[in-house]
């Protein structure tokens, strides 16, 4: 059986450097720049 590898890019949290392999990582745009944040850092982003 052939295994098809998905070419999904590994996203990295801009705050704690965790990757989307370990934690869900979301993309957001701040001051016109696209950045990534994991679900652990997202609350800090919202409240900070």
- Taking CA atoms, 7 is separated from 17, 28, 29, 37, 47, in Å, by 20, 21, 23, 20, 34
* 16 versus 24: smaller Cβ distance to Zn ion: 16
* 6 versus 37: smaller Cβ distance to Zn ion: 37
What is the binding site for Zn ion (CB under 5 A)?
13, 15-16, 38, 40-41
Q: How far is the CB of 10 from Zn ion (least distance, A)?
A: 14
For the record, the structure tokens of 28 come out as: 């957001």
* 32 versus 42: smaller Cβ distance to Zn ion: 42
d(CA 27, CA 9): 12
């Amino acid at each position: 059986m052939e295994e098809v590898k998905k070419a999904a890019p590994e996203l990295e949290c801009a705050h704690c450097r965790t990757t989307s392999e370990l934690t869900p990582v979301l993309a957001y745009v701040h001051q016109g720049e696209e950045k990534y944040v994991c679900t652990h850092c997202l609350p800090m982003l919202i409240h900070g």
